[in-house]
Chains A and B, each alone.
Chain A
Amino acid sequence: MLAAVSLLAVLAGLGLSYVRATGLSARATPGRIEARLARSVRAFAISSADRQKPNPVARSDEAVRAGLEHYADHCAVCHGNDGSGSTNFGRGLFPPSPDLRAAPTQQMTDGEIFYVIENGVRFTGMPAFGTGTAAGQEESWKLVHFIRHLPGLSEAEVEQMKGLNPRSPVEIRQEIEEEEFLRGGRAPD
């Protein structure tokens, strides 16, 4: 009993020290051990059945294209159109958005990537996008195809995605005004 209480006290002390030392700031970058530990916990949390799920959507240009459109609209704000994670939001998260083109993501199974898209990851900025519908799941599987495609993404595709990223009505108006002005049209009021 005394040992258990002591252990709890030590753990609580370590926890409080962590909070004080980091200030719970999201500016820090997770250390190698912390990152490895987090990935191991995430892998442990995903059941073997989920991990081994094959992608039921056949890979095709159309599936990748649908994934690209969905990604540009939902994911790029944090992960970047090129998957690098080098965005204002992505860099500011703790842990920062991973480079989806790199081995730690590309070595995940299709089932694991699908699971993360559908369920999110607690204590990170990754939300759960699953809607519980068959149509939603199909979209997520197409995203898996697109994430596999990211390491070979072309410049032309990145340019295409810029037109698909979410924009506010003000930004859309500014773009139209900019185009007209650069064509030699009247300056906006």
Chain B
Amino acid sequence: MHRTWILALVLASALAPAAMAHEGHTHKALGVVSSVQGSQVEVKTTDGKTIKVTLDAKTAITRGKTTLTPAALKVGERVSIDYVQAKSVNTAKSVKLGETPAAAPK
């Protein structure tokens, strides 16, 4: 019985950091913006997938060292997005835009 408790404590200690690291773990996606609808942005990633991310008031949008507003996000922009996933919603913590703005659609 005593051994079981010690084992449980050791396991709990070992698993605690992993559990904590998982919560709020930041994912990264590189890709090109394929659609923007309000705060919803769809990105075609470099590995061929499509992900949807939501921008919120805390999302930092930058191009180089310049801070931008969500209005700067246009279809065709190269982006690097750091996002967290919770309840199947990807919320962007930061969006870095490519050095060169996307060309305006003709």
A interface residues with partner B (beta carbon < 8 Å): 88-89, 92, 174, 177-178, 181-184, 187-188
Contact = CB atoms under 8 A, between A and B. Distances in A.
Contacts of A88: 20-21, 23-24
A187 B45 CA distance: 9
A112 B45 CA distance: 51
A125 to B, nearest CB: 11
20 contacts: A88-B20, A88-B23, A88-B24, A89-B20, A92-B20, A174-B28, A177-B30, A181-B30, A181-B78, A182-B78, A182-B80, A182-B96, A182-B99, A183-B98, A183-B99, A184-B78, A184-B99, A187-B30, A187-B46, A188-B46
Interface string B1-36: 000000000000000000011011000101000000
Chain B: interface secondary structure? mixed
Nearest to B48: A187
Nearest to B25: A88
A181 B77 CA distance: 11
B30 A178 contact: yes
Contacts of A188: 30, 46
In this complex, the member of A174, A178, A182, A184 whose beta carbon has the largest number of chain B beta carbons within 10 angstroms is A182
Interface residues of B, number: 14
A89 to B, nearest CB: 7
B55 interface: no
Interface of B: 20-21, 23-24, 28, 30, 46, 78, 80, 96-100
A88 B98 CA distance: 29
Contacts of A184: 78, 98-100
A188 B78 CA distance: 13
Nearest to A186: B46
Contacts of A92: 20
Contacts of B100: 184
A182 B20 contact: no
A159 B78 CA distance: 23
A188 B96 CA distance: 16
A108 to B, nearest CB: 28
A182 to B, nearest CB: 5
Given A92-B20, A188-B30, A182 B97 contact: yes
Nearest to B28: A174
A178 B80 contact: yes
